[in-house]
Amino acid sequence: MRVEARSGRYQDVDVQAIAVAVFKDEKADEGFLKDLDAVAGGMVKAVIDSEELKGKEGETVYLHLPADAKLKTRRLLLIGAGEKQEHLAAQVSMVAGTAVRLLRAKNVKSIGYVSRADLDAEVSATAAVEGAIMALFDLDKYRTVDKDTKTVEQFVVISEADEQEIKRGVSRGQAIGESVNFTRDLANEPGGSLTPTDMAERATAMANEFGLSVDVLDEARMQQEGMGSLLSVSRGSEEPAKLIVVKYTPAAGRANDKELLAFVGKGITFDSGGISLKPGENMELMKYDMTGGATVLGAMRAIAQVKPSVPVLGVVPCSENLPSGKATKPGDVVTAMTGKTIEVINTDAEGRLILADAIAYAKKLGATKVIDMATLTGAVSIALGDVNTAVLGTDQALIDEIIAAGKEVGEKFWQLPLDKEYSKQIKSDIADIKNVGGRKAGTITAAAFLKEFADGLSWAHLDIAGTAWGDEAKPYRSKGPTGVAVRTLLNIVRRLERSQAGN
């Protein structure tokens, strides 16, 4: 889809349909809606006066305009946006996404989105384009029959703000929106189509395309590094593990060499549970167990395009977790890169095993601040459902930053405690630690395990198991992988860049 910025009057934009947000209880005979009604032949006032549209979030009214309407388009989509004071970047994305999905179903090829948010024009344009592009993603990649082939070819952000400002927002929104969909496409791939080797190849191709440095460690190099924790997971599979490292380095003279932010993401390309085999029901969804790694790669893809002034490192440990005669057994003891010994109580708690060595390796590469993300525990879905992503860590300032950055882009994070008492649950009788701490506080004890490998770092952990996959479609988004946290990570980088610049 081609995205464009247009400064000026929406009446003059030649597209097949115009999409406009309408706020809760907004009057049709006042302000913007009064002007829109005048050029739409009185149809806006008609639907509002009849209470067909009250402006509640998610409401839509699709209108074919009369011949005497004073618009170049003959189709108008009104979208309820809720309270005007709550119409922030997240809501802009949702409205734009709703417009694209609904109008695509009507076979509309070109859409004009009228910006009405009381936001910085660049921020508003970014959010609108993100939402529009994310709305295009569907699960039907492998379908050959009954596949909807309708497409939107053009999306125009229309605003009376400075055109260069809108263009900057559109460009940033396109980079981020396409990168979120890159993440979602990876997360939707079957395990047979996306092995650790395949994921490394896709990461390498992406890095080469966008100018990131890339290094892929094979099992021999991981063995040399002492990554016994990571390698213990791949033992049961014929597919070798890979450790993907991508790095963005700003232009000369722009970087702050004192700090290095690293994103670390779990890349289990298929998780059967290993010897601690999962139940067969819904096991096919375990293809999404590499979403943390896909999130890191999507974020790095966007970072390479928006070119912040701060360096960023991405580390993605990849493995399959399968049972075989060579697989790690419950009761085995493995040694991590740090020298710490781990008793493997449950082989289905494998994500933390690969993240342990990846976090340690990020530190070895110079990372001072680490945010890891993983579809780590089923327990987080019981605690927080699919609304909030759990965040835990050792640096309260970093946790607060994640929550604030997420709120700005419409992604919710909820902090869970990480008191030292929880670490007692992962004490082992025969090794330094064990990889599970029992049924109680499963999400927290998983984070307590990772904390053992984040010593000396500013560290936070995101458990995205409940939010990385949507079981139901939304008006603005298909069911399936959500791409959660990509936009938050980009916003964290932007906020870090601004803080270092003193803004």
Active site residues: 278, 352
Three-state DSSP at 221 gives helix
In this predicted model, what pLDDT tens digit does every residue of 207-262 receive, in sequence order?
A: 999 999 999 999 999 999 999 999 999 999 999 999 999 999 998 755 556 799 99
For 206, the token pair is: 């992406």
Phi, psi for residue 162 in degrees, rounded to 5: -60, 130
For residue 4, the model assigns a pLDDT of: 97
Phi, psi for residue 348 in degrees, rounded to 5: -85, 0
Three-state DSSP at 232 gives helix
Q: CA 132, 138, 144, 146 torsion: positive or negative? A: negative
Reported CATH class of domain 2-159: alpha beta
For residue 387, the model assigns a pLDDT of: 97
In 3D, which of 27, 179, 35, 120 has the Cα closest to residue 18? 35
Q: Strands of 433-434's sheet, edge to edge?
A: 333-335, 341-343, 433-434
Q: Which fold has domain 179-501?
A: Aminopeptidase (3.40.630)
Q: What is the DSSP secondary structure assignment for residue 474, as one 8-state letter?
A: B
Q: Which residues of the chain have pLDDT under 50?
A: none
For 445, the token pair is: 């004890």
CA 34 vs. chain centroid, Å, equals 38
In 3D, which of 469, 412, 475 has the Cα closest to residue 97? 475
**What DSSP string describes 158-191?**
EESS-HHHHHHHHHHHHHHHHHHHHHHHHHHS-T
The domain segmentation of the chain, as residue ranges, is: 2-159, 179-501
For residue 407, the model assigns a pLDDT of: 96
In this predicted model, what pLDDT tens digit does every residue of 255-294 receive, in sequence order?
A: 556 799 999 999 999 999 999 999 999 999 999 999 999 9
HEC letters along 293-361:
HHHHHHHHHHHHHHCCCCCEEEEEEEEEECCCCCCCCCCCEEECCCCCEEECCCCCCCHHHHHHHHHHH
For residue 68, the model assigns a pLDDT of: 84
Which amino acid, one-letter code, is at 242?
K
**Which ranges of 372-438 does DSSP label H, i.e. alpha helix?**
379-384, 396-409
